[in-house]
Amino acid sequence: MQLLSILKSNKTPFAISIVLGIFDNITKALIRFYDIDDVVVIENILELDLNFNTGIAFGILRDKAEFTFLLSFGVLIWLIYQFKNDFKNKIEEYAFIFVLGGAFGNLGERLVNLLNGNNGKVTDFIELLFIPSFNFADSFISVGIGLLIISELKNFKD
């Protein structure tokens, strides 16, 4: 019941997070539909290359999709509960919105792929320099974590 209360009182942040998750899933669906593979966008810097990941970031816990789904679902619930607290500043609030959006994106795709027998894989397609393949949800999570670090440094300084 408390979870629903938190969701109702924070409609805008959750709506933004859901839109980010939907955007992530649409881009992944387009990459799969058009079978985009080995497309060089910027030579030696950026490439689009269809890959699948059954683990979490950088392939950690590969082939443990059920476990990573449960772990990610737990993190999602924890993230939602963070919205009942007052954020120290807007940067911290935006950080949680981005992380939640990324969680919605990857968790939604993982759930669908667990239910339809595709081993809970998540679509990765962006290859940037030497960084392992990732997707927009991963980017949202990374931006959110970066914003959290900035927020904490700002709070530490004040």
- Give the span between the Cα atoms of 67 and 81, in whole angstroms: 21
Can you read off the two tokens belonging to residue 59?
A: 């392939």
Query: Catalytic site residue 38?
Result: no
Query: Catalytic site residue 124?
Result: yes
Closest CA to 27 of 146, 120, 128, 108: 108
Pair 89, 155: CB distance under 8 Å: yes
Pair 72, 110: CB distance under 8 Å: yes
Sign, CA torsion 57/61/111/38: positive
What is the four-CA torsion angle of 11, 12, 15, 21, rounded to 10 degrees?
-130
Pair 34, 68: CB distance under 8 Å: no
Can you read off the two tokens belonging to residue 24?
A: 């992530």
Q: Which residues are catalytic?
A: 124, 138
